[in-house]
A = this chain, B = another copy of it.
Amino acid sequence: MLHACLVLWATPVSAQPSANVQSANVQSPEIGVDRRVTFRLNAPKAQEVALTGEFLKSKTPLVKDANGVWTVTVGPIEPEIYHYNFTVDGVRIVDPANPNLKTGSTASTLASVLEVRGDAPSFYDGQNVPHGEIRTHWYHSKSLNSMRRLTVYTPPRYDRELKTRYPVVYLFHGANADETAWYRLGRVNFILDNLLAAGKIKPFIVVMPFGYGVVPGEPQSENTAKFGKDLVEDVIPYIEANYRAFTDRDRRAIAGLSMGGGQALTIGLNNLDLFSHIAGFSSGLGNAANFPKMYANLVGQPETSNRKIRMLWVGCGTDDGAFAASKAFSEFLAKHNIKHTFRESGGAHTWTVWRRYIYEISPLLFQGKGYGSYVSRKDPGTG
């Protein structure tokens, strides 16, 4: 049997196991060599235990044995990184035996992580290639009058090649997530390390800010404006003062997923003096009736806009609730003769899709080939 939490560094033996930890009595998840996966929960007093997960079509019951351990085996499951939860007598919980968690800025998306490995390393796996770093910064936002956190990916050798400057991608997370999501769940660092090692991209810096500019009590409708103000007035100047970043629009990109996809498109397309490469993944775009007003400058002078935009990429999976909005946005752009790629893929509103999208668009960035030649395929590919 393979070990469940296939972490990339050594999995520890418990040196000083706490007493009274029931969960330590079971192994969950346990991944078989056939990629069938067994989930277990030690819950003798529970009346009903079920499993939900991105690898399941519907909620699946666990069955209790004589020792009070609930079990279910599912699969085989395709190699991928998935999220799942147990429901115990109606309470949705994370798997108490699995240390690998999906966390965020709210508790609504707390989940356990199941990583199923294939025979060969995946494009998102950490491999024996030169690795970039993730840097965590705490900065004071003058525009929001608060301390905020952001994470930055620097490519391999950034600290050695002190005369090199780099393009920058500003990359945004989705709702209820935080500034760690793109590397902890999205594996953007490994994806870029692998693309670099394969010679498929040139190195760039990735800046991942925290996507909420509003605080509780403030309307969510103001979020993009407040977040955008922090981005333009605080984050970009901070990055350009602290990193060897190019400071021209041609080498500045903006991208995001879900809520962050909406932010990237709104902020990017309304600030073409700052950004030349713009991408939205499964974007939260709002009501299509507002597009003409929201993007008035963009569509009011399509020739100028097309000259400035070096890449405009709008992707969504057909199983995603956000698909119709992305399609409507693409049609809006087409109606106004704004050149762009509409990427219709398979997949739903999950990291499975977004990991592949960042893998797909990275070779297009800062190359001047951001649209036109791109062929849409049904399934997000990594080949």
Using CB atoms and an 8 Å cutoff, list the residues of chain A in contact with chain B. 3, 7-18, 20-24, 41-48, 88-99, 101, 103-110, 126, 128, 131, 133-140, 144, 146-149, 159-160, 162, 174-176, 189, 210-216, 218-220, 223, 242-243, 258-259, 284
Contact = CB atoms under 8 A, between A and B. Distances in A.
A75 to B, nearest CB: 21
A99 B92 contact: no
30 contacts: A9-B147, A9-B148, A10-B148, A12-B211, A13-B212, A13-B215, A15-B259, A17-B108, A21-B108, A22-B90, A22-B91, A22-B92, A23-B108, A24-B106, A24-B107, A43-B89, A46-B89, A46-B91, A97-B107, A101-B101, A131-B138, A133-B135, A133-B137, A134-B135, A134-B136, A135-B135, A135-B136, A138-B189, A159-B242, A160-B242
B16 A223 contact: no
A376 to B, nearest CB: 26
Contact of A89 (B45, B134, B160, B212): B45
Contact of A107 (B99, B131, B160, B220): B99
Given A14-B106, A15-B220, A90-B45, A210 B136 contact: no
Contact of A9 (B134, B149, B242): B149
Provide the main secondary structure of the chain A interface: loop
Contacts of A215: 10-11, 13
B16 A176 contact: yes
B103 A16 contact: no
B146 A105 contact: no
A136 B133 contact: yes
Report copies per complex.
2
B104 A223 contact: no
Contacts of A7: 105
B91 A8 contact: no
Contacts of A135: 133-136
A106 B162 CA distance: 39
Given A45-B89, A89-B45, A131 B126 contact: no
A159 B218 CA distance: 36
Contacts of A17: 108, 176
Nearest to A244: B159
